[in-house]
Amino acid sequence: MIDKAFIGRELAPSTLTLERGRLRFFAQAIGETDPVYSDLDAARAAGYADLPAPPTFLFAAELDSGQSMALLELLQIPLPKLLHGEQGFTYHRPACAGDTITVRPRITDIYDKKGGALEFVVKTAEAHNQRDELVAELRTVIVCRH
């Protein structure tokens, strides 16, 4: 069983600098064809300072930093047992190429269902940019299946 003492635990922050090339690669990988996500002129015409990060992109911050894996080690969840249960984003302002985003997560809940066959960990995070403006809030539910 995952130790419920981790509820409330603040996790190490992750910082990700958004690069045009990475954002274009992400847009291509999801089949995004709107030029706002790949063409600088189109992005600026749409009112963005630079290429905008698509809605789910900031999930990359903790993957790139290794913190997503570090959390699994902390909670002793083996990769083969991991499932992504839920994901949510609340948006406050755009994140664009050139921005440096810092994600600060904490564990907000741990519970189980089906007599412990499924364990759930809820993580919430705030993402701020280099001006310390709130960009987005993230909510993740990871599942360990036994």
Residue number, 64 or 133, with CB nearest to other proteins: 64
Does 54 interact with other proteins (rule: CB under 8 A)?
yes
Choose which of 79, 114, 131, 132 interacts with other proteins (CB under 8 A): 79
The answer to whether 146 and 118 have CB atoms below 8 angstroms apart is yes
Does 45 interact with other proteins (rule: CB under 8 A)?
no
- Tell me, what amino acid is at 30? I
Contact stretch for other proteins (CB under 8 A) within 5-13, 79-87, 106-114, 117-125: 79-87
Q: How far is the CB of 5 from other proteins (least distance, A)?
A: 26
Backbone angles phi, psi at 19, to 5 degrees: -115, 145
Q: How far is the CB of 139 from other proteins (least distance, A)?
A: 8
What residues form DSSP beta bridges with 142?
84, 121
Does 100 interact with other proteins (rule: CB under 8 A)?
no
**In this structure, are strands 134-145 and 118-128 parallel, antiparallel, or unpaired?**
antiparallel
Other C-beta atoms lying within 10 Å of the C-beta of residue 83: 12
